[in-house]
Amino acid sequence: MGENIFVLGTLVAPLAGAVVALLFAKNNHAQRLVGLISSIVAWIFSTRVLLQVHQKGVQTYELGNWPPPYGIVLVADSLGGLFAFMVTTIMIGGMLYTLHSHDRCMTYPAFVPLFLLMEVGLVGAMLTGDLFTLFVFMELMVLASVSLTAISDDQFGLEAALKYILISSMGTLFLLLGIAAMYAALGTLNMADMARILLTGERPFLAPASALMLLCAFLLKSAVFPFHFWQPDFHTTAPTPVSAMLSSIVVKVGVYGIIRLVTLLFIVEAPLLQRWLALLGIIGVIFGSLGALRTYNAKRMLAYSTFAQIGFILVGIGWGNTLAMIGAIVYAFNHAFIKSSLLMLMGVVASYTKVKTANFASIVGIGHKLPPLAGWLVLVGGLSLAGVPPLNGFISKLALIRGGVAQQDWVNLILLVSAGILTLIYMVRAWQQIFQRAPIPETTPTKEAGDSLLAPMLLISICLILGIVLAEPLLQLVTETVREIGDPNTYISAVRLRLEGP
Amino acid sequence: MIEFMFALAIGMLFGIGVFQLLRRDLIKAAIGFAILFSAINLFFVAVSAFEGEYAPFVSNVEAGRQTSDPLIQALILTAIVVSFGSFSLVLGLVNIISLRYGTVDSNAVNNLKH
């Protein structure tokens, strides 16, 4: 029996942490400790799940012992397991940052529970094998992140949160409409069962329509070109650890969903979808890089950069050959670490100003107040984002470009490489502005102490390890993952559908 | 006939909902949001409510009668809970915006525009 309790544990650990943290509503420090402990427990579980997936194959857990496709089943295949591992690892960084932060919003009793609920939503969306449950978890994640941004110290947080929830709920509606259309067409909600029916060659009238609706919903969640306009505001105004999570792992839910759509559910429609994905991705790459180049705020620059980096991943999915898929998944994995550490570093920089702003006008030369380590961390993170060897950003760019060469799509390749050079320009310029220029005392009222550098240090060192020591194992892991998701029958047979009933 | 009426009702609700969501008044936008969710729930009902004539009890199934789909009702219940949660969160945000800005006109709530 594939009753792996650890798949459930990865989900339940942060959920239990949220409940326990609510019990400690009066004691803020205890709340943060509970958050850290439960995210570490979730990380241990997800690591174990990932190891088991690669030793024994797909792990499942049938909730309440209801056999699929009638009951809800949690499925950790190599793709879901890898993404869940990424989420729980970065979540530890977020909780570590929260532990030593001085933001006012983190003293509210609801902060830590909401943060953990966001993790539940993320992990749940990546581990569920049921399309409707995916919707519920995604909505949980959206509601938690909206609440977290609305209570941000930044006065514009509220407005950005309202803007996001109104736009995102349109995406949610289309997701729900797509799910209803799939149910009408196929009579099931289990993804393995849907894939089984669609593989038999049956093409109900509603299936292509619902493919498009699901795709739009996922594109909206990961802020891809026509649906991106909420993203820079929302990611800039969120509290620092939250914005680090939003820009690194929350956008990856959409990427995960898109990979599932093109590799598991709609294999026949995939070439058409992928052509569009490559086009939208390249538009995102260009406009995201140009937007990051001309923005006035360091956090906003990184938010635009996320817009561009998601474009890189989508181009990889759009190329669709094995090497490009490996590149896209490695890119998604590495980008999460780089972007979360960089946003936390900008949060640390902003915490040294009186009004907690990351506007370039206010943080010019503030680096002299910070510990000298901060400058090196920002430089390493920036170079990694731009893809300079030997950092992990280089590994992911290299893997992606190999896919492009295999596809012989030279135009897009040239655009991607030039966008990488733009990344180098804006990251080095930001570093120079903050750490190299002389401070302007009258325009930058600063504080003597700020947030701790511990969490970004941890994440940057993971970036270094991923670039130097673990680059080859990661590539092998992802190669196996791509081989596994290349054959939907692995996923379908692992769920062990019992269609006749008990 | 009833399916055509359902399609008409869903379409009208969807249209009204989108129209309300795009209003300048944020409270009307929030209510448009609730209307849109009702349209989706109605779509769920229309998807599979008309197949059987009996309630989905075990006794009816064993007697060989064609029962309606019970799963769809559970789905709608969950969707209602989720939409109610988001709707109340939207109303809460609009409430705080009305206190902070003194208006719910979305043209006046434009501090993000730099």
DSSP collapsed to 3 states, B46-90? HHHCCCCCECCCHHHHHCCCCECCCHHHHHHHHHHHHHHHHHHHH
Cross-chain residue pair B89–A165, CB shorter than 8 Å: yes
Number of C-beta neighbours around residue B99 at 10 A:
8
Question: What chain A residue is nearest to B38 in terms of C-alpha separation?
Answer: A173
Nearest to B82 among A139, A156, A166 (CB): A139
Using the predicted structure, report yes or no on whether residue A449 has a pLDDT greater than 60. Answer: yes
Q: Which residues 51-80 of B have a C-beta within 8 angstroms of A?
A: 71-72, 75, 78-79
Reported as a pLDDT band with limits 50, 70 and 90, residue B114 is low
Share of chain A above pLDDT 70, in %: 98
Q: Is B112 on the interface with A (CB under 8 A)?
A: yes
Give A349 or B114, the one with higher predicted confidence: A349
Cβ–Cβ under 8 Å, residues A93 and A344: yes
Burial class (CB in 10 A: 0-12, 13-18, 19+), A473: exposed
Structure tokens at A85: 């591992």
- Are the beta carbons of B48 and A184 separated by less than 8 Å? yes
Query: pLDDT value at position A500?
Result: 63
Residue B65 CB-density burial (10 A; 0-12 exposed, 13-18 middle, 19+ buried): middle
Chain B interface test: which of A154, A163, A166 (most B C-beta within 10 Å) = A166
Cβ contact (<8 Å) for B86 and A169? yes
Interface test with A, best of B73, B75, B105 (most A CBs within 10 A): B75
Interface residue B24 vs chain A (CB under 8 A): no
**Cα angle, residue B66 at apex, residues B65 and B70 outer, rounded to 5°:** 120
Q: Going by DSSP bridges, is the β-strand pair A73-76/A59-62 parallel, antiparallel, or unpaired?
A: antiparallel
- In A, which residues are within 8 Å of B79 by CB distance? 176
Phi/psi of residue A51, nearest 5 degrees: -60, -45
DSSP-derived secondary structure for A191-252? HHHHHHHHHTT---THHHHHHHHHHHHHHHHTT-GGG-TTHHHHHHHS-HHHHHHIIIIIHH
B35 and chain A: CB distance < 8 Å anywhere? no
Tokens of A263: 């590799």
Q: For residue range A293-322, what is the model confidence (pLDDT) as tens digits?
A: 888 888 889 999 999 999 999 999 998 888
Contact state of A162 with B71 under an 8 Å Cβ cutoff? no
Minimum distance, in Å, between the CA of residue A156 and any CA atom of chain B: 7
pLDDT at A1: 45
The better pLDDT of the pair B21, B2 is held by B21
> Using CA atoms, how far apart are residues A214 and A464, in angstroms rounded to an integer?
36
Give pLDDT, residue A2.
56
Residue B43: closest CA among chain A residues belongs to which residue?
A: A180
The answer to whether residue A357 neighbours chain B at the CB level (below 8 Å) is no
Q: How close A161 gets to chain B, by Cα (Å)?
A: 8
Contact of B29 with chain A, judged by CB distance below 8 Å, is answered with: yes
- Count A/B contacts: CB-CB distance under 8 Å: 75
Helix (H) or strand (E) holding A74: strand A73-76
Distance (Å, whole) CA A137 – CA A80: 14
- Dist CA A424 CA A393 (whole Å): 12
Chain B: residue whose CA lies nearest to A69: B71
Distance to chain A for B113, nearest Cα, Å: 10
Residue A343 one-letter amino acid: L
The pLDDT of residue B112 is above 80: no
AA letter at A287: F
ipTM reported for the complex, 2 dp: 0.91
- Poorest-confidence range of A52-56, A115-119, A435-439? A435-439
Q: What was the pLDDT predicted at A187?
A: 82
Across the interface, whether the CB atoms of A233 and B112 are under 8 A apart is answered: yes
Quote the minimal CA–CA distance from A173 to chain B in Å. 7
List chain B residues with CB under 8 Å of A296.
114
pTM of the model: 0.93
Residue A437 phi/psi, 5-degree rounding, is -70, 155
**What local confidence, expressed as pLDDT, does residue A436 receive?**
83
Strand positions, DSSP E, A379-496: none
pLDDT tens for A177-191 read: 999 888 888 888 888
Q: Which residues of A touch B82 (CB under 8 A)?
A: 135-136, 139
User: What is the percent of chain A where pLDDT is above 90?
Assistant: 32
Say what the pLDDT of residue A214 is. Answer: 92
- CA B37: distance to chain centroid? 1
Q: Which of A66, A128, A158 would best serve as a mutation to test chain B binding (most B beta carbons within 10 A)?
A: A158
Collapsing DSSP to helix, strand or coil, A190 comes out as strand
Residue pair B14/B43 in contact (Cβ under 8 Å)? The answer is: no
pLDDT at A502: 40
Tell whether B88 lies on the interface with A, counting CB pairs under 8 A: no
Q: What is the mean pLDDT of residues B67-93?
A: 87
| pLDDT one-digit tens code per residue, A364-422 | 877 778 888 888 888 898 988 888 888 888 888 888 988 889 888 888 889 888 988 89
Average the pLDDT over A52-75 and give the result: 85
Distance, in angstroms, between A303 CA and closest chain B CA?
A: 15
A250: closest CA among A421, A407, A94?
A: A94
Question: Minimal CA–CA distance to A249: which of A84, A481, A74?
Answer: A84
| Domains of chain B as residue ranges with CATH | 2-101 (1.10.287.3510)
Distance CA A329, CA A495 (A): 23
pLDDT tens across A157-170, in order? Answer: 888 898 899 888 88
More confident residue, B50 or B5: B5
Question: Mind telling me how many Å the CA of A496 is from chain B's nearest CA?
Answer: 20
Which stretch of DSSP H or E encloses residue A43?
helix A28-56
- Say what the pLDDT of residue A120 is: 93
Q: How many helices (H) and strands (E) does chain A have?
A: 21, 2
Of the candidates A228, A244, A237, A114, the one whose C-alpha atom is nearest the C-alpha of residue A171 is A228
Asked if pLDDT for residue A119 goes beyond 90, the answer is yes
**What tokens were used for B16?**
């009204």
Q: Do B26 and A158 touch (CB under 8 A)?
A: no
CA distance A257 to B100: 37
Contact A166 B71 (CB under 8 A): no
pLDDT over 60 (residue A265): yes
pLDDT of residue A441: 67
B43 contacts on A by Cβ (under 8 Å): 177, 180
Instruction: For residue B95, list chain A residues with Cβ-Cβ distance below 8 A.
Output: none
Mean residue pLDDT across chain A: 87
**Record: contact B90-A165, CB cut-off 8 A:** yes
The band of A470, judged by pLDDT with boundaries at 50, 70 and 90, is: confident
Task: Give the end-to-end CA distance of chain A in Å, rounded to a whole number.
Answer: 15
